[in-house]
Amino acid sequence: MTTKALTFPRLFPRPKAEWGIWSWIGTVDHKRIGTLYGITAFIWFLIAGIEALLMRIQLSSAENTFVGPETYNQLFTMHGTTMVFLVIMPLSAAFFNWLIPLQIGARDVAFPRLNALSFWIFLIGSLLINAGWVTGDAPNGGWFGYAPNSGIDYNPGLGMTYWAIGLNLLGVASIAAGLNFIVTILNMRAPGMSMFKLPVFTWMTLITSILIVLAMPILAVAGIQLQTDRLYGTNFFNPLGGGDPVMWQHIFWLFGHPEVYILILPAMGIVSEVLPTFSRKPLFGYPFVVFAGIVIAFMGWFVWSHHMFTVGLGPAANSAFTISTMLIGVPTGIKIFNWIATMWRGNIRLNTAMLFSISFIAMFTIGGLSGIMHAAPTADAQQQDTYFIVAHFHYVLVGGSLLGIFSGIYYWWPKFTGWYLNEKLGIANWALMFIGFNIQFAPLHWVGLDGMPRRIYTYAENMGWEGTNLLASIGGFILGLGVLIFMINLVVSRIQKRVAPADPWDGRTLEWSTSSPPPPHDFDEIPQVEYRDDFWFKKYPETIAEYYGHGEHDQTVPSGAQVDDDTDEESMPVVSGGAYGHDAGEHGHDKIHLPDMSYYPIILAIGLGIFGIGFLTHWGVIIAGAPVFIWGLFGWSMEPVNDPETKTS
C-alpha cells in the first residue's frame, strides 16, 4: 500500500518506546492496557476500602463523632460510586483486556487505539469524579443520586456536578470498551472457534459488553439531564419546575439493574474457568451456563422497579416486578447448580484461586437467597433502605464479584507475569477476606431487620444496634487485613519470583497454550480450534469421546466459525487495519500484524477531560479544550494504523 493522499502535520514522532513511561502512554497493546486498568482500579479499590473503614469506625459506637454527617455522606457516596464504576467494572475490564484476545486466539482487540482511548477516558473520569475530595466538594448525594436531593436547590456546591460529569466520562469509556469487545469476540475468533466453543469467560464478557453498550447510554442520559438541571436550570427532575423525581429513579434503575449484572457476570465467567481447571473436569452443562447468562442479561432489563417497591407504583406494577424478579432467580440457580456439578466427582485442587471460587458460590448463594426475600414487596417494605439491603448486595458484590475477581487474579497471575503468587500468603489472604467479610456483613442482615436504616451517620444508644455494628466494624478491618496480605503477597512473590510455565494449572483454554507472559503478538501461530476447551482436548485426546460422545464430535468446521477453510488466511483480520502490515521478522513468523503505538488516544481523552473541567468551572475552558479534542480526533483519523516506514515490531 502506498496511498498517502491525506496527511496530518505531526507535532511529534510516533511513539516507539518499548520501556518506560512513554511505552505505557502510547501503548495500544491489549495486555498493557489490561495492566493499566488493573493497577488503576486496584488503587481506587484501596481508596474506596479506606472510605468503607472510615464509615465502619464512625458506626462502631452509638452517637459517635469520628466523622460528621457531611463527611459521612461524602464517604458513602464515593464508596459506592468508586466500588461500582472505578473498581469492579475496570477490574473486570482488566480481565477482558488481558484475556479475550488470548482466549479466542487473537493478537489484539478489534480496535486497539479505541481500547487505549477507553482506558485514558476512564482514568481522567475517575480523577475528575474524585477531584471533589481535593476541592472540598466531594459528591454527597449517594451513588444513586436521587432527585431532587441531588439537585442544585437542595445540594448546592459542585459535589454532584463532579459526580454527573465524571459518570458521563466513565460512560463514554465503558461504551467504547463494550463495543470493542463485542466486535472482537464476534469477529476475531481463531479459525474453528464457533460461538459454542468460546470459553465461558469470553461468553460472559460478550454478554456483559452488550449490557454495557445498552445500559450505559441510559446513565449518560440521566447524567446529562441531572447536569443541565444543576447547571442550566432545566427541570427534568426538579419538582419545583414540574419535573418528576420518580423519572430519575426509573431511568437510574433501568440502567442500575443491568449494571448489577455488568458487575457480576464477569466474575461468573471467571469462576466458570477456575472451577473446571481445578476440578480437572469440563464445565458441567456448558450450554446451560451460557444460556443462563444470556437469560439473566435479557431478564435483567425487566426487574428494575424492584429497587422502587416503596415508591408507591401501586399493586399492579409491584406484582409484575415481583414475578420478573423471582423468575430471574431460576437462571441464577442453574448456574450455581452447574458449578457445584462441575466440582462433583472432580479431582479438586484446593488452592487459593479455587478457594476463592468456591467461596464465590457459597457467598453468592446467600446474596441470591436474601434477594428473594426482598423480591416480595411487602416484606421489602420493612427491608428497603435498611442494612438488610446493604448486607444483601455486599454478599453479591463482595462475596460474588470481588471474590470472583480475586480468584481470577490468583488463577491468571502466572499468565500475566510469568511467576506465581505465594500460595501460603494466598491462603491467608483468602481466609482473612472470607472470615472478615462474613463477620462484617452477616450481622448487618440482623441489624437491618432490627430497623437500622441505611445512610445514617449515627444512631441513638437505645436502639440496640451497637454491638452488631461493632462486630461488623471488626469484620471490616479483618477484611482489610486480608487485602493487606494480598499486597504483601504481590511484593513477596515478586521477590521470590517462582517462575511459571506456559500452562501451570493444566489449563483448558487457549491462553495457556502461549508463553507466560505472552509475547506482544500473543501467539506465534494462530491456533486452529476444533473443540470446546480445545487446548485441553488436544492435550488429552483420549478424553474427547468422554465429553463429546462417540462419533458425535467430528465437527471440525462448525457452523458459525468466522473463517471458512477456503479463506486466504492472509486476508484474515487478525488485528484491525492490517493494510499497512509489516513483517515481524525477528520472531521468524510471517504476517504478524500488530498496530503501531499512538499518542492520539490520550490526547483525545485529555481533550474530553478539559471539557469536563469546563462544565465545572467556566465555559471558556471548554473553548480552550476544543483544539485539544479536535487535534486528537483529526490526528487519530489521519494516522495510519501502521506507519509504512516503521520497521520494528
Binding residues among 539-568 for another protein as defined by CB under 8 A: 540, 543, 546-549
User: Quick check: 376 binds another protein (CB under 8 A)?
Assistant: yes
Using alpha carbons only, how large is the chain's radius of gyration in Å?
Answer: 25
* Piece in contact with another protein (CB under 8 A), picked from 34-42, 202-210, 420-428, 623-631: 420-428
162 within 8 A of 85, measured Cβ to Cβ: no
User: Quick check: 461 binds another protein (CB under 8 A)?
Assistant: no
* Residue numbers 111-140 binding another protein by CB under 8 A: none
Per the omega criterion (within 30 degrees of 0), is the bond before 148 cis?
A: yes
Name the packing angle between helices 245-279 and 286-299 (round to 10°).
Answer: 170
User: Quick check: 443 binds another protein (CB under 8 A)?
Assistant: yes
User: Quick check: 148 binds another protein (CB under 8 A)?
Assistant: yes
Distance, in Å, from the CA atom of 125 to the CA atom of 608, rounded to the nearest integer, reads: 9
Distance, in Å, from the CA atom of 78 to the CA atom of 377, rounded to the nearest integer, reads: 28
Residue from the set 349, 494, 497, 618 that interacts with another protein by CB under 8 A: 349
User: Quick check: 73 binds another protein (CB under 8 A)?
Assistant: yes
User: Quick check: 631 binds another protein (CB under 8 A)?
Assistant: no
Task: Give the shortest CB-231-to-another protein separation in angstroms.
Answer: 17
Residue from the set 506, 524, 583, 643 that interacts with another protein by CB under 8 A: 506
User: Quick check: 298 binds another protein (CB under 8 A)?
Assistant: no
At 468, which helix (H) or strand (E)?
A: helix 466-496
Distance, in Å, from the CA atom of 116 to the CA atom of 54, rounded to the nearest integer, reads: 34
Residue from the set 312, 551, 588, 620 that interacts with another protein by CB under 8 A: 312
Residue from the set 25, 54, 214, 340 that interacts with another protein by CB under 8 A: 340
Nearer to another protein by C-beta: 70 or 570? 70
Per the omega criterion (within 30 degrees of 0), is the bond before 517 cis?
A: yes
Calculate ∠ Cα 317-318-321, nearest 5°.
85
Total residues contacting another protein by CB under 8 A comes to 118
User: Quick check: 17 binds another protein (CB under 8 A)?
Assistant: no
With CA atoms as reference, report the closest residue to 260 among 211, 199, 305. 211
Residue with cell 506482544: 520
Task: Count how many residues are written for the chain.
Answer: 649
Residue from the set 51, 229, 273, 380 that interacts with another protein by CB under 8 A: 380
User: Quick check: 630 binds another protein (CB under 8 A)?
Assistant: no
Residue from the set 246, 490, 572, 622 that interacts with another protein by CB under 8 A: 246
3-state secondary structure of 386: strand
Site string for another protein, 24-53 (x = CB under 8 A): ------------------------------
109 within 8 A of 601, measured Cβ to Cβ: no
Distance, in Å, from the CA atom of 210 to the CA atom of 232, rounded to the nearest integer, reads: 33
Residue from the set 298, 302, 446, 634 that interacts with another protein by CB under 8 A: 446
Task: Give the shortest CB-442-to-another protein separation in angstroms.
Answer: 5
> Could you give phi then psi for residue 499, rounded to 5 degrees?
-70, 135
User: Quick check: 288 binds another protein (CB under 8 A)?
Assistant: yes
Distance, in Å, from the CA atom of 211 to the CA atom of 293, rounded to the nearest integer, reads: 11
Nearer to another protein by C-beta: 455 or 589? 455
Residue from the set 195, 224, 311, 621 that interacts with another protein by CB under 8 A: 311
